[in-house]
Amino acid sequence: MTEVSQVDRVMRRIEPELEEPYFMIIERGAAKCSHIDKGVTLDEASRTAICRGCKQVVDLFDALMNYAESERRLVLARERVEKFQKEQREKNERNRARMKFVRKVMSSKTKWKGEDSENMEEDGHILTLDCGHQMDWDRTLVPAEATCPTCRTAAKQPQQQPQS
Ligand SMILES: [Zn+2]
Ligand SMILES: [Zn+2]
């Protein structure tokens, strides 16, 4: 029996058993774990905290400090989100207040500069809005919508000029 065939026989015997490597190696990277933001598993029996990142036992006081720190950051993050939401709400309210006086332009009349009918120059428009009011528009293009100054002024003095 040759040496090669002996090796072959041994290999054939162990092969079906060794579908997974015999040695498991803990990666070196795991040793560099900061244990922060990983969370811990508390083992009641041994009264230890095990880092969920690297599975190493960590100091309980360190774990407590990390927990306190992440809690503090959570509170800060929540405050920031609430501040942002409040600002958005206020912005929406301001927009809605402005939109309240936006009216559809029903018709427009061009204004002309100068008396001379030969030499007339366009000088903006008078818009008629769907609230019934008219307003000056000193630009060349007629808009589809415009903020009615009459309605807005009326809303500012509700006692003198009630307006719906
Ligand atoms: Zn760790
Ligand atoms: Zn109006």
* CATH number for the segment(s) 101-113+121-156: 2.40.50
pLDDT (mean) for 83-93: 95
Q: How much is the pLDDT for 19?
A: 67
Measured in Å, residue 130 CA sits from the centre of ligand 2 at 7
Write the CB contacts of 102 (distance below 8 Å, at least 6 apart in sequence).
145, 146, 147, 148
For the CA of 26, the nearest ligand: 1
| Position 3, amino acid | E
User: What pTM value is reported for the model?
Assistant: 0.42
Integer Cα distance of 20 and 14 in angstroms: 12
Say which range, 17-21, 33-37, 40-44, 79-83, has the weakest mean pLDDT.
17-21
∠ at Cα 140 (134, 144), nearest 5°? 55
Q: Per-domain residue ranges for the chain?
A: 32-99, 101-113+121-156
For the CA of 29, the nearest ligand: 1
For the CA of 161, the nearest ligand: 2
